[in-house]
A and B are shown apart, each in its own frame.
Chain A
Amino acid sequence: MSPERKIGDRRIDLAWLMLVLLSVGGAGIGSSDANAVLVAVGVSLVMAIKLRLVCTYFLELHEAHPRIRRAVLAFCHGMPILVILTTAFGDTLSRLTGALVG
């Protein structure tokens, strides 16, 4: 591990504090009465930031092999995007998967 890429204890502490604040704040977004797609965008944004913080400061994903890093990041970025898409285009997904569900 190169010295410039080392993450110090203070940064881990700050990341944890951010995660706690985002978790409490994210719960507030979820309980709002706004439009479903807007709530999904807000919740997904908070989810993406939290996942990125965990990947960077806890999991230290930048130390992993590039292929592993890309795969994990694809999963982490894909999930919030899917939340938004399936909220906005739920009818289309329902039509496309109608044969599966029966």
Chain B
Amino acid sequence: MWVGIFCEITEFALLFAVFFVARAHHPEAFQAGPERLSLLAGTGYTLMLLTSGWCVARALHAMRRGDRRATVRWMLAGFVFGLGYPTIKVFELQRNFALGLDGSAGVFIVSYYYLTFTHLVHVFWGLLGMMWVIVRTGLGAYTTEEHSGLEAFACYWHVTDMIWLMIFPLFYLLG
């Protein structure tokens, strides 16, 4: 599990390095960048992912005390909030394209799409994994003593959440 998580961290560490170099070479573009994006959408992603992560953490605790039904309920809630991320993404992309913020809109927007789409892919993997874990929990595959699959998923989801907590201020706040 941790090998996979470290691959994810390494991938984003490289992308962040590219971001910092691009920002150093184009300070004006990056200074004006956040005003071109929707802070409401950025805050919305953050709240959805944090709330989804909270639900997953509560699900894991419910499993540890042997409450399978509560685990499924918390996981389903986590999935619904997790789905909020791609849902907001659809609305934000519609807004961005209407404002002409596509791949030709400059180095800031290109960096933004590159990092956030890579993160979106990781969120999709996480949502698929969450569906799998919900089904397995419902079928009784995990017990109080053995629920390493659920724990592995929870770790992945929280790290994906952490990566977003780094991306959010880089693009939406640092002007």
Cα A84 to Cα B171 in complex, Å, equals 14
**Given A40-B174, A58-B57: A30 touches B169 (CB 8 Å cut-off):** yes
> Secondary structure of the B side of the interface?
helix
Min CB–CB distance B75 → chain A (angstroms): 14
| Chain B residues bordering chain A, tally (CB within 8 A) | 41
Give the contact stretch, choosing among B22-30, B95-103, B115-123, B128-136. B22-30
Q: Is the CB of A101 within 8 A of B21?
A: yes
Number of A-B contacts (CB under 8 A): 112
B87 to chain A, nearest CB (A): 18
- Chain B nearest CB, measured from A63 CB (Å): 10
Q: Within 8 Å of chain A (Cβ to Cβ): is B47?
A: yes
Knowing A58-B57, A72-B9 touch, does A43 contact B174 (C-beta < 8 A)?
yes
Q: Is the CB of A47 within 8 A of B165?
A: yes
Interface size on A, residues (CB 8 A): 46
- In the assembled complex, how far is the CB of residue B72 from the closest CB belonging to chain A, in whole angstroms? 17
Indicate with 1 or 0, residue by residue over A8-40, a CB within 8 angstroms of chain B CB atoms.
010011011001100110110111000010011
- Closest Cβ–Cβ distance, residue A30 to chain B (whole Å): 3
Contact yes or no, A97 B24, CB < 8 A: yes
Complex contact B162–A76 (CB within 8 A): yes
Chain B proximity of A75: nearest CB distance (Å): 6
A47 is contacted by which of B24, B34, B50, B166 (Cβ under 8 Å)? Answer: B166
Inter-chain CA distance A20–B49, complex, in Å, is: 10
Bound together, the chains give a CA A26 to CA B169 distance in angstroms of: 8
A27-B16 in contact (CB<8A): no
Contacting residues, chain B, for A24 (C-beta < 8 A): 43
Interface string of A64-78 (1 = CB under 8 A from B): 100010011001100
- Distance between B27 CB and nearest chain A CB, rounded to angstroms: 6
Given contacts A15-B54, A58-B57, 14 further A-B contacts (CB under 8 A): A9-B58, A13-B54, A23-B43, A26-B173, A27-B43, A27-B172, A30-B39, A30-B169, A31-B173, A39-B174, A59-B158, A82-B20, A83-B169, A83-B170
